[in-house]
Structure 1
């Protein structure tokens, strides 16, 4: 950073030149308020920090939990494209919290000129600000209108609709829904799609058929217990994701019920495990690997200054029919 421009930034942000240097080079802890002032000054004056050689060869990725199969597929897709372009991958976990997501993305600034970010807890404004600070910043599984050209998302409302419509078409009327207890748009949108499918079939929505639980195997298992405790007629369960569906199958077995003869089950994501459960799981396919590859190509293009005119894409899920649903329409 030049001395003259450093002084201009310091004056604009009302801080010392040393503080400007620390913020840009990330060499010491500085309050978030000061960091924001410096970066606002950088944008106002049109300054773009020089990206080092290591940063130019590194792609950053932020996921909620690297141990989850869904994010494993996402990271594999990113890595496949990164290798083609001879770039290394730097991974950070967001740990399902606003503070952790912020810290994870902030750590990428100055270290990566490309970043593929899966964020569900930060506000639109914060993510837009990050997009102005990382040249190749791309959001995956989220759509923000003001940075639409940096977003690769999925229509989760349609995905939820597909899952429940399939059961309706198979003659099911008593359909339960296990939604995620996390307060994120994925959970709301998939449940919205479920409601749309029921309304289209003139099935009254009984809230006792909707149970919120952790999006995990144990969450699905306990969700089954909650549904059965209600004592309602039940022929099918739609789950927020495949991992939860695996827990549902186990919970049904624990209660002496079989799938699909007694209760049909539909998942969401089409993870690898869906093909190896018993019975094989009918599910909504979330093309996360393809989306991750596309997001990485877009990030590289943006980092080179050639992606600003690329429209953001909202991809459509599809339904994968296997053997976990009984046809009751016959």
Structure 2
């Protein structure tokens, strides 16, 4: 296997000159550059990737921090980001930060200790100030599913407010007026956005927002079931439920069945995210599609831009879309 010394001897230049040509770290005369390139080709010389990484202070890796590794939502994000990054020659280092600020910070510090070239972060628990300071320190950072005004050129989000509005408007279109909303934890921006979309749809339809029909949960099946049972204990009238993610929709579905309510014959149900199991429930779940693959692609495109290897368009705000299945009853055609 040819070495950098072999190249320098064949080209008749110093090893330092060969290094400068290969790494592009400084200007070299056109004549010497041609000699080096000819020698590299003739010897089929392949630069040492580790040495190149050190020369550029690059490791060829991108750190990804998500709250958890399990579940279809986060596993989908990780799979898609890894697949897209690999096309650009990067490998991923993944850390799960749980759902506390301290553990998410620890995960980010771990990734930085591995000398990753950039970070892609899905974190709702870390303060804006910490993430802003991280970017200001010189680390290329991309936030997914979160918006910070000071980092607007580093955030890839979806329009959660629009998604909540579309879901609620669909229920209204199907004749439902008394609609329960099971929200995610309202300290998270995506949960607040989806609730606001629900409120906007009611307002546009001339209906009053009723807190009795709203119950906060934690984006899990167990919390969705608990929130649904809380609504049932309130003895309020409703014909439909908008759950702010599919896991909570499944929990609500189970709680309704436990109390003798059938979906969609007695209560209609709509979720958010369109994760894999939504299409295999009975009835199949009507939901809002979260464009995970597109978000992953946009995040990778933005990281590559920040690393200076590629220019291109980035869509910073993605649009969710309605996926109609069988869990919503049309009251207007059954009256």
Per the normalisation by structure 1, the TM-score is: 0.80
Report whether the alignment pairs 1:59 with 2:56: no
SS at match of 1:177: strand
Q: Which residue of structure 2 lines up, in the alignment, with residue 72 of structure 1?
A: 75
Q: Partners of 1:54 and 1:81 in 2: how far apart?
A: 22
SS at match of 2:281: coil
Report whether the alignment pairs 1:144 with 2:148: yes
Q: Which residue of structure 2 lines up, in the alignment, with residue 246 of structure 1?
A: 250
Residue number among 320, 324, 328 corresponding to 1:321 in the alignment:
324
Between Structure 1 and Structure 2, whose CA radius of gyration is higher?
2
User: Which string of whole-angstrom CA distances, capped at 9 and with x for unpartnered residues, describes residues 158-207 of structure 1?
Assistant: 11111111100100011001112351111111100000011111111111
| CA-CA distance at 1:304 after TM superposition | 2.2
Residue number among 262, 272, 287 corresponding to 2:276 in the alignment:
272
Report whether the alignment pairs 1:96 with 2:71: no
Q: Which residue of structure 1 lines up, in the alignment, with residue 240 of structure 2?
A: 236
Superposed CA RMSD in Å reads 2.0
- Of residues 52-61 and 193-202 in structure 1, the stretch that sits farther from structure 2 once superposed is 52-61
| C-alpha contact 1:117 1:137 (8 A) present in aligned 2 | yes
Equivalenced residue count is: 280
Alpha carbons of structure 1 residues 57 and 103: separation in structure 2 relative to 1, 3 Å: same
Q: Partners of 2:107 and 2:304 in 1: how far apart?
A: 20
Higher relative contact order (CA 8 A, sep 6+): 1
User: Which string of whole-angstrom CA distances, capped at 9 and with x for unpartnered residues, describes residues 250-274 of structure 1?
Assistant: 1111111110000000000010111
Report whether the alignment pairs 1:185 with 2:189: yes
| CA-CA distance at 1:83 after TM superposition | 2.0
| C-alpha contact 1:181 1:212 (8 A) present in aligned 2 | yes
SS at match of 2:78: helix
| C-alpha contact 2:298 2:316 (8 A) present in aligned 1 | no
Residue number among 117, 120, 125 corresponding to 1:116 in the alignment:
120
Report whether the alignment pairs 1:216 with 2:220: yes
| C-alpha contact 1:265 1:325 (8 A) present in aligned 2 | yes
Per the normalisation by structure 2, the TM-score is: 0.79
Report whether the alignment pairs 1:256 with 2:280: no
| C-alpha contact 1:61 1:117 (8 A) present in aligned 2 | yes
The answer for unaligned runs of 5 or more in structure 1 is 1-49
The answer for unaligned runs of 5 or more in structure 2 is 1-51
User: Which string of whole-angstrom CA distances, capped at 9 and with x for unpartnered residues, describes residues 248-307 of structure 1?
Assistant: 111111111110000000000010111111111111111022101220121122112656
| C-alpha contact 2:222 2:248 (8 A) present in aligned 1 | yes
| C-alpha contact 2:301 2:314 (8 A) present in aligned 1 | no
User: Which string of whole-angstrom CA distances, capped at 9 and with x for unpartnered residues, describes residues 202-256 of structure 1?
Assistant: 1111111001122211111122211111111110000010011111111111111
| C-alpha contact 1:114 1:134 (8 A) present in aligned 2 | no
